[in-house]
A = this chain, B = another copy of it.
C-alpha cells in the first residue's frame, strides 16, 4: 500500500508545504478554502497541487487522516478505562468536539456518513475512505454497550454515528453571539452557553433516548 517509489526530493518538499498551507487555510477559511490560494501560500503552481491531491477531498483526507486515527484510537483507551455505556458517551463527546473544532473533519464525515453533500465523494463513490477507522471505533463501542445491556439493540453503529454527526452540526460554530435581543421565545437559560457545553448536553439527551430501558 505504501509508495511504490520514493518521491523525488522537491516533490516531497512541495507536498509538505501544500499540507502545511492547507491545514492553516482549512482552519481559517473552512473546508471551502480556495485551492488556488493554498497553492500560492505554499509557493507552488496550481498544477502541483492537483498532481499531489487530485480532488479537494483528497487534500482534506491528507490533512485530517492523522486526527481521525487519533480519535479512533481513543475508543480503545476509553473502552479499557470505563464501563461500556460511559465509554461510548465519552467517545461521542470527543468526536463531536473534534467535528466542531475542525470544520474540515466535519465535512469529511458528512460526505462519508451520508449526511450531506459538502465536499462530495466524487462520482466514483469508492466506499472505502478515511473515515473507516471511525466506523470501526463506533461499531466496537456500540457493540460493547449493547452487550452490557446499556444500549438499545435496535440501533446500529451507523445510526449512532449519523446522529452524533447531526447533533454536532446542530451545535453550530464556535461563533458565540446567538443573535442578541431575542424576545425570550426560547424558554430556558440560553444566554451564554459554550459550544462544548451545548454539545455535551445534546449528546446526553440523545443517549438518554438510546439507553436500554429496564
Contacts and interface: CB of A to CB of B under 8 A. Distances in A.
B116 A185 contact: no
A186 B205 contact: no
A136 interface: yes
A6 interface: no
B187 A156 contact: yes
A43 interface: no
B170 A166 contact: yes
Nearest to A177: B125
Nearest to A206: B209
Contacts of A113: 170, 172
A180 interface: yes
Interface string A178-198: 111110011111100000000
Nearest to A209: B209
A163 interface: yes
A170 B178 contact: no
Contacts of A135: 185-186
Contact of A143 (B142, B180, B187): B187
Contacts of A209: 205-210
22 contacts: A113-B170, A114-B172, A114-B173, A114-B175, A115-B169, A116-B169, A116-B173, A117-B173, A127-B182, A142-B187, A146-B187, A159-B186, A159-B188, A159-B205, A163-B167, A166-B168, A166-B170, A167-B170, A206-B209, A208-B208, A208-B210, A209-B210
